[in-house]
Structures are given as structure tokens and as C-alpha cells.
Amino acid sequence: MYARKGYELVKDLANGEKGQLQPFNEDLFNQVVDQCTQHYLELQALIRKMQEESVDVRETRNSDHYGALIHHLSLIRNKRCLMAYVHSRAEVIQNFAWKVGLELLELPEEIQEKLSPSEKNYFGKHSSALQSYMAEVGIDLNVDMVPPKDPYIKVRVLDDMGEGILLSDKTANLALHSMHFLKRTDAEQYIARVGLDGRAYRMTLKQGVSQTISMTMEFQM
């Protein structure tokens, strides 16, 4: 059936959990693209036939006309299915930049495996555009999706990080189980979010590339 593959592609998208990515279905995607190409070639062939027969393409209503119309509508339907598939996945990928991080390597491996090469490239360019904008306006938009009432957050250190941690306005001794009030911007630059539970984030604080410190960030609203 014409446009059947496009329907299967959208169905594959709809079967996934909302806000989550399924592995990019490259095989089915390419089949839909091939169908588009075939519909286009068939459409052009029928139009040329009618022109060679000196038939008025706009006015004549014969079998060639309706055949061309079917191929034209099938081509449009498949293109819309392809665009819906790509656009829906792009929206989820954009959300990763806000919820996970702006670097591709910050994405969990199981997510990276679900992205096509073009989607990885898109994520990189989208993140780069966000970083450029935030640098230009001087605001880290990735810190809080909702404007906070207090610029400071309460931090409890779960693993010893050591002394002399340089922050924007002071140095801190992040010893085991110590409690601190830190600027959100100071805390967030060290933190990779791994979950959200109510009003508290469960996070991982990274020191360099070798030492990983777990922390609980309790937002004081």
C-alpha cells in the first residue's frame, strides 16, 4: 500500500514512551526515503507521458492524471511522516541539553547509542548555540528552569572533597557531611544531574576528571 512505510515509521515513534527516545530506525527511515524517490520518479514519468501525448495536464481527468495524483499525495504523506519523525526526536534531543548537559559526552551511553550521526551533530550545534547565547548575555540559563526565590542553595557533602575549593566569592572546605550555603551558579558548575525527586536533586559533584563526589542539593524555596 502506498505510504505504508511512512505510517510504520510514525507508529514506531508513537509506540515509544513520551519524552524518551527509541533507537533511530535507520532501516525503516531509509525505506521511506526510497519510497519518496520512487513516487517522485513515477509522478514525473506520468506527467511526461501526458505532455508527450499533448494532453492538458491541468484539465484532463484520465487514468494517468489520477495515477499522478496518487503518487503526488503519497509523496507528500511520506514527507510529512519523515518530518514528524525527525521533529519529534529533535524536541527530545533539545531537552537533553537542559536536563542532562550541553556536552555530548555528558549524555549517558545508552542515550548516545540511540542517536543517529546527524542527531549527534544536531545536538552539538544546538548546545553550541545555547552556550554562545548564554556567554553573550552573561546568564547561565541551564541553572534554573524556574526563577529561584533565593540565589543560594543548601548543600550537604556526602564524600570528602577537601579544602580550598575556589568559588566565585570565597573558598570552601567541602568535608564529609559538612553543610554549606552556596550560590546556585557555583554549585551547578560542578554538578551533573542524575535524578530528580520532589524538591531535592540527587547529584554528582565532579572534581577534575578523576575524583567524583556525591552531594544532595536541597533547594530552599
pLDDT tens for each residue of 112-166: 888 999 999 998 888 888 888 888 887 777 666 666 677 777 777 776 666 766 6
Give the pLDDT confidence score for residue 56 in this predicted structure: 74
Phi and psi angles of residue 205, each rounded to the nearest 5 degrees, phi first: -95, 125
Closest CA to 82 of 41, 118, 127, 133: 118
Angle at 114 between CA 109 and CA 115, to 5 degrees: 100
Helix axes 26-52, 63-99, angle to 10 degrees: 150
Query: d(Cα 105, Cα 88) in Å, to the nearest integer?
Result: 22
Give the pLDDT confidence score for residue 27 in this predicted structure: 93
Whether 67 contacts 47, CB under 8 Å? no
Whether 125 contacts 102, CB under 8 Å? no
Give the pLDDT confidence score for residue 207 in this predicted structure: 36
The conformational region for residue 138 under phi > 0 = left, psi -120 to 50 = alpha, else beta, is left
**Single-letter residue type at 153:** I
Query: How many helices (H) does the chain have, and how many strands (E)?
Result: 6, 7
Q: How far is Cα of residue 156 from the mean position of the Cα atoms in its chain?
A: 31
60 CB neighbour count, 10 Å cutoff: 11
Give the pLDDT confidence score for residue 164 in this predicted structure: 67
The model's pLDDT over 22-37, given as tens digits with 9 standing for 90+, comes to: 899 999 999 999 999 9
Residue 63: all three cell numbers together = 487514468
pTM, entire model: 0.63
Q: Strand, helix or coil at 172?
A: strand
More confident residue, 181 or 211: 181
Which whole number is the average pLDDT over 4-24? 86
Give the pLDDT confidence score for residue 200 in this predicted structure: 34
